[in-house]
Every structure is written in structure tokens, then in C-alpha cells.
Structure 1
Amino acid sequence: MVLNDVNEALEVLRTKTGKTPEIGLILGSGLGELADHIADSDAVPYHDLPHFPEPTVAGHKGRFVLGKLKGKSVIAMQGRYHHYEGYSLRQVAFPVAVMKAAGIKTLLVTNAAGGINLNFAPGDLMLITDHINMLDGSPLIGPNDDAFGPRFPDMSGAYTPALIEQAEDVASRAGIHLQKGVYLATSGPQYETPAEIRMMRTLGADAVGMSTVPEVIAAAHAGLSVLGISCITNMASGILDQPLSHHEVIETAERVKEHFTQLVEGIIGQL
């Protein structure tokens, strides 16, 4: 990341809101309505901030929402950037650096994903325990600024075990069934072929999507605690005898939003 670019974006963000967040949220496809639960909120469109392009994907509003959620100061990304939109991995991860500079210590990252694990079903929520990066690189490629993090960050605990345990406890008490597994990221935007899904299952992936990994790499680089949650919005290619569509992704996310919101709010309330 370029420190000057981060500071320029942060300066404008602070002129539009005086709030100092402690928790960051990245809300994936169809999951952005959680931001509507944030109290005393200020919304800042990305296009108002330097170095922030406009998201182009349906279901991504393209703004920060800052305020209080379960008594905690939060900043939520209501919509994210994707590599397949033509943005570099550094651009995709750039908002994480801005949120870190704004004050967050913990990042909750969510996404819509296709289920690879045959024990999964559309509508399941999966806690991400690890990931496989099948994108074409890393957001950390290029000059490293020690102000953000080390040249060679450790990824062995990128998804914070204590937060996973906490999420499981919240879900258990709320009666919410959770899956756990490994998330694999591809560049997209095409959905995977059945042969690719068989390969991914052999590699150990439980779910596949087109986001999250660049942001988590940047978060680990910055020393943030991270919890990842995938909404399994469809079974991946070749598992069910039906075509895949983004409409199905949005439709399933809408169906599970009550449990998703209850889970995330319960986790934040305990942080």
C-alpha cells in the first residue's frame, strides 16, 4: 500500500465523519443489509474518497457506513471490490488499509460462496478456518512499507482461532447451525467448471468464491484479528444438475439474512 494514498483517503473520511471505529466489516453479495442495523450512522460513498473506484456488481452499494452496532463502534463496507472488475489486488485490499488507519483492530469479512463440500447445502453459514489463494498474485506484491506490516507476513493464523471459537459459541446459544471449512478464491468472473470443482475438492477446499482472500492477506499483514464467514448461496458447478447464476446468489443471501444478521450482531456484541 502507498502510505500517502491511505492518508489522503483517511483525511477525507474523517472530514465526513468524526467517528473512530474499532471493528471493520466487509459485507459481501446480498449481505449488505446488515449495515442498515448500524445506529447513529454516517454513510460515505466510496466515490467521495480519493483512490476509491466505484463498485460495479449488483448487490454492492459502494459505501462505508460508520456508527454503533451492539454498542461497538464499527465501519462497514457495504459492497466491496473484486479483481474480476479489472482492479488490481492492491486496489481490492486498499480499503482494509484505510480501515486499519481509521482505528480498527478486528475485521469481520463475509462473502457469498459456492459449496464444494458435499455435506453443505445452500443457505448454510460457514466459518472460514483457512484459505487457498488461486488468484493471480497477492496484494502485497511490490514495495513494502513497514508502516503497514512486515515484508513477509505469517499467514498460519490469518483467521483468528479465538474469534472462530467465539462465533461457534454465539451460534450454539442462538440455535444457528454453522459449518466450518476452507475457502478457495479464484479470479472469476466465470463460474468454475465441474472438473475445476473436482480439483478444488481434492485440494481440500470446502467453498469457492471470487473475493475475501486479498482483504484477509492485507489484514494479516496489518496485524488485524480476522473472522471470515461464507454464506453458501449455491452448490458449486457439477454437484446439482442446474445452471449457476448471480440471481441465485442474491436470492439465497436474502433467505438467510436473519440468521446471518443474528450471528454477526451476536459476535460483535461480545468483542
Structure 2
Amino acid sequence: MRSGTIPLHSGSIRLVSETEQPPRTTDEAKALAATAAKELLARAGADHFDAMVVLGSGLTGAADTLGSADIEFDSTELPGFHPPTADGHSPKVRSMWVGEKRVAVFMGRVHVYEGYEAIETAHAVRTGIAAGARTVVLTGSAGSLRADIAPGQPVVVRDHINLTSTSPLKGASFVDLSEAYSPRLRQIVHDADATLAEGVYVATIGPQLQTPAELQVLGQAGADVVGRSIALETIAAVEMGAEVLALAMVSNDALGAVFHPFESERALEVVEQRAPRLGSLINRVLATV
């Protein structure tokens, strides 16, 4: 899997029932998120969240170093949420404290390749923002398209290329993405760790891997890392007026996978080993915001 994301459990494709249809418009999606946010706040005993985090493939361990846990429960108990079927993702959501800031941490996500609509993949982000979060931190595993970005290295996303051929927005929502990834938050994360590289994240729909020719084209287009998330959630977050910071944890050398078989277990292991470090980094960022 050259993109570095984690494969589905065997046979775990989500089927949509006739009574469980996704929102038809952005406004409907935000209304559903507002309902979920009300329940989330009630469960957490809070009047608002200051920030929210989405943890990607293999990164659930980041929650243990991100802050002090308050309460944790299954996100599927909230309206509109579905259980992730990809390895390395948890359905749990955790209310946490980073200093005096209350943070909602979603410990997994759903993807379009699992059978969900793009508008559904942004539900956690919309819910967190509806619950008051103005800072959104997105994380995910990714394959590196650059020789100088090695596995185990977090990359600060400065821009994205959305090759999913879809959008989490439905309706006349003309969103300016010229600064989708907040320059202010990127500066804060670089102040926290000056060694971090920045790069362009390319989002593909999956679940198939990229061909050698596709990887070559992605590199020529200016992409630095490749994955299957982040971009759609970012679009939804920007549309709702939040600031976004995205961190892509490199799980494998995508170009090297052209010549050597990809080992999904090894890629997941790399990300899991680095998750605590990423959690500490996010802690330092949120403490400063």
C-alpha cells in the first residue's frame, strides 16, 4: 500500500440501509453535526470545546500524551457517526484537557473507500466545530514521495491536492482554500519543533494502490506525501470558519514500494511507535494556541 494508509478488515465494507441516508446538502450535514455536538457536550459535561483533534491510522496512542483524559466513549453513540472499518482506527472519542483548554479527540475516522459519502467523512470535524472548537488538528498516515522525508517523520501540511474527485460540500458553498492550512498554526508547530518538514499532501480515494506511473505524476505535480484522508475534512473545516493544522505521519517510502513489496504491518508499526511523540507535539501546539 504505497500511500501508507492501513487496509480494511477483511470483508468489512459498509452497506447503507434505505433508512440511513447521508445528508443531502452541506446545511443538512451541519444540522446533523449540531445535534451530535449537543450530545457530545452533554456527555462531557461541557459548554464548549476549544479545539478538536482527529487521529489517523495507527495514531490512537497519541491521545495518551496529548493531554489529561476526562471522559471517553464510543462516537457511534452520537447521531450520524459510523464505526471505522480500517485497521488502526478506533471509534472512541475522548474529552481531554490541555492546560485550561478542553479538547475533543476523535481516535479514528471513516473514509470514502469504506463506502461512505464524502459528506459523511467530515462529520467528526463538523461536530467538533459545532461544539465550539475553533482549532482543528488533523492527523493521518501517509507515504513519502521525497527521499529526504523518511518513515516515522511527521510532515506539516502546507497545501493539498484533492484527487478524490469529490467534496464534503453539497450546495453553493464557494470556499476559499488559498490558506486552508493556517499559516499561524504552522508557525506555532515549527516553533515547537524546528526540525519538521513542510509539504503538499495529495489525497486519493483508494482503496487501490498507486501505480508507478501515478506516483511519478504525483511527484511531478508537486506532491510530497500521499494518503486517503485530511483533504476532505480540511475543506469542511474551512467552510465552517475553523483554523486547520494537519500533520501527516510518514509510514513508508511510497516510491520505494515500487521496487519492494509493501508491508502493511510494518507501516502500521512505524506509525504506532511514533504516535506518542506526535501526541506530545500536538500538546505543545494546543497549549500555545
Q: TM-score, normalised by structure 1?
A: 0.91
Q: Cα offset for 1:247? A: 1.4
Distance 1:7 1:120 in 2: 39
In the alignment, the residues of structure 1 paired with residue 96 and residue 277 of structure 2 have an alpha-carbon distance, to the nearest angstrom, of 22
Quick one: which of 233, 236, 258 aligns to 2:254?
236
* Contact residue 140 and residue 249 of structure 2 kept, 8 A: yes
**2:216 aligns to what?**
198
Which residue pairs with 2:37 in the alignment?
A: 10
User: Is the Cα–Cα contact under 8 Å of residues 59 and 272 in structure 2 kept in the other structure?
Assistant: yes
1:159 CA displacement? 0.3
| Residue 214 in structure 1 maps to residue 232 in structure 2 | yes
Judge conservation of contact 1:193–1:238 (CA < 8 Å) in 2.
Answer: no
- Aligned pairs for 1:9-158 (under 5 A) are 9-19=36-46, 20-37=48-65, 38-140=67-169, 142-143=170-171, 151-158=173-180
AA matched with 2:225? A
How many Å apart are 1:74 and its aligned residue? 0.3
Deviation at 1:123, TM superposition (A): 1.2
Residue 143 of structure 1 and its aligned partner are, at CA, apart by 3.0
Amino acid at match of 2:64: D
Pairwise CA distance, 1:238:
4.5
**Is the Cα–Cα contact under 8 Å of residues 191 and 244 in structure 1 kept in the other structure?**
no
Shift of residue 80, structure 1, vs aligned partner: 0.7
Root-mean-square deviation (CA, aligned residues, Å) is 1.6
Higher relative contact order (CA 8 A, sep 6+): 2
Question: 2: distance between equivalents of 1:226 and 1:77?
Answer: 15
CA displacement at 1:239 relative to structure 2:
5.4
Partner of 1:35, secondary structure, is: helix
User: Identity of paired residues, percent?
Assistant: 33
CA pair 14-202 structure 1, distance change in 2 beyond 3 A: same
8 Å CA contact 2:75, 2:91 repeated in 1: yes
- The separation in 1 between residues aligned to 2:280 and 2:34, in whole angstroms, is 34
Alpha-carbon distance, 1:51 to partner: 1.3
Deviations 1:10-39 (A, max 9, x none): 232233221221011011111111223432
Listed as ranges, the matches of 1:250-265 within 5 Å are 250-265=268-283
Looking at structure 2, the residues matched to 236 and 40 of structure 1 have their Cα atoms a distance apart, in angstroms, of 35
Listed as ranges, the gaps of 5+ residues in structure 2 are 1-25
* Contact in 2 for aligned 1:13/1:49 (Cα 8 Å): yes
Offset, 1:47: 1.4
**Deviation at residue 7 of structure 1 after TM alignment:** 2.8
Contact 1:42 1:65 in 2 (8 A): yes
Q: Would you say the 8 A contact 1:187–1:210 is kept in 2?
A: yes
Question: Does structure 2 retain, via aligned residues, the 8 Å contact 1:193–1:237?
Answer: no
